[in-house]
Amino acid sequence: MPGPLLRRSGMSDQIRLSAVTLDCPDPRALAEFYAAVIGGTVTCRDTQWATVQGPNGRIDFQRVPGYTPPAWPDPASSIMMHLDFLVTDRATTEARVLAAGATKYDFQPNSGQCFVYADPAGHPFCLTTWDGLMP
């Protein structure tokens, strides 16, 4: 059912997020990491592109020549985006992501509800127990 804006404007087209795509040096390896972390399945795997279908959406990975990972924290440079994963038990989930190859950052700006990690390609992601923004 279209939202209020679509009903008022008479627009019939809808936009729905399909996936998030991360640049990386090795799509297959990063797909395997995220499949292990989110309990997903690698549905596409080659040297240039890989896809993980998770229980709540899809993450794609594309090879980028000369890929440079973001720096955390770096006030002179933006990380552009990061992934947030809602979890029920941060300690148990932390053990799983570390075993899969993540690195926990020393700097934790919001450790009361969120821990920040880097995936094997250096993308920051968070494990959070706070779902205050969810409906």
What CATH number corresponds to the domain at position 87? 3.30.720.110
Question: Which residues are 51's β-sheet partners?
Answer: 44, 60
Domains: count for the chain: 2
Q: Given this model, what pLDDT does residue 47 score? A: 95
Percent of the chain with pLDDT over 90: 67
Q: What is the pTM of this model?
A: 0.83
Verify that 108 and 98 share a domain, yes or no.
yes
Across the strands, what pairs with 42? 52
Strands of 19-24's sheet in order across: 19-24, 57-63, 49-54, 41-45
Answer with the one of 10, 39, 67 that is the final residue of a domain: 67
Runs of H (alpha helix) within 1-131:
4-9, 27-38, 90-100
Where is the domain boundary, 67, 93, 118? 67
Same domain for 127 and 92:
yes
Question: Which bin fits 39, alpha (ψ -120 to 50), beta or left (φ > 0)?
Answer: left
Cα 63 to Cα 91: distance, rounded to the nearest angstrom = 32
Range of the domain at 26: 1-67
Co-location of 82 and 58 in the same domain: no
pLDDT given for residue 71 in this prediction: 86
Q: How confident is the model at residue 17 (pLDDT cuts 50, 70, 90)?
A: confident
Q: Helices 27-38 & 90-100, crossing angle to 10 degrees?
A: 160
How high does pLDDT run on average in the chain? 88
CATH code (residue 47): 3.10.180.10
Residue range 44-103, pLDDT digits in tens: 999 999 999 999 999 999 999 999 998 888 877 777 788 999 999 999 999 999 999 999
Say what the pLDDT of residue 1 is: 47
